[in-house]
Amino acid sequence: MVKINASVFISGKGTNLKKLLLNSNLYNFPIKIKLVISSNKNAEGLKLAKKWSIPYLIFKDNHNLTEKIILNKLKDHKINLILLAGFMKILSKRFIRSFGKSILNIHPSLLPKFKGLNTFEKVLKEKEKKTGCTVHFVTEKLDTGKIFLKKFFYIDKKDNIASLKKKT
């Protein structure tokens, strides 16, 4: 099976990255992770990249310069797919257009409800009966791209922000 070269963008613990790495070893999983990008130099997920010997880059303060460097690295590694997995930066329109290939985002709500940040707080405040996770294509508008996959679960009365994070 020919696998798609992918880059995973992270910001924190790397929970999604870990699952993607484990699955990428399976014969029928369609991607191979070739590069990790982090918006946080202290992200726990970077330890996974090191452990799996995957090259990584860190977003610097100069956003425009960093995007150029990252686009060049994506090209160098022949990346055809970007997976935003807990990535807490918004990619610029220029970056999205310049990459010109598929970018998927893992979003912790059932889109189109609760776009953006603080989704768990919003879900609890609105007393939703269910929530979940949406994987969607990234467009220039925040959390509005075509939905690729959606999974839901019912919210228990005892759930709080921490328990919802664990479930998604």
CA distance 132 to 111: 9
Among the listed residues 63, 77, 107, 136, the single catalytic one is 107
Helix, coil or strand: residue 36: strand
- Residue written as tokens 């935003």? 84
Q: Does the annotation mark 107 as catalytic?
A: yes
- The candidate with the shortest Cα–Cα distance to 91, out of 131, 142, 128, is 142
Helix, coil or strand: residue 38: strand
- Residue 57 makes CB contacts below 8 A (sequence gap 6+) with 35, 36, 37, 38, 69, 70, 73
The DSSP string of 118-144 is: -HHHHHHHTT-SEEEEEEEE--SSTT-
The count of other CB atoms within 10 Å of the CB of residue 64 is 10
Which residues are annotated as catalytic? 107
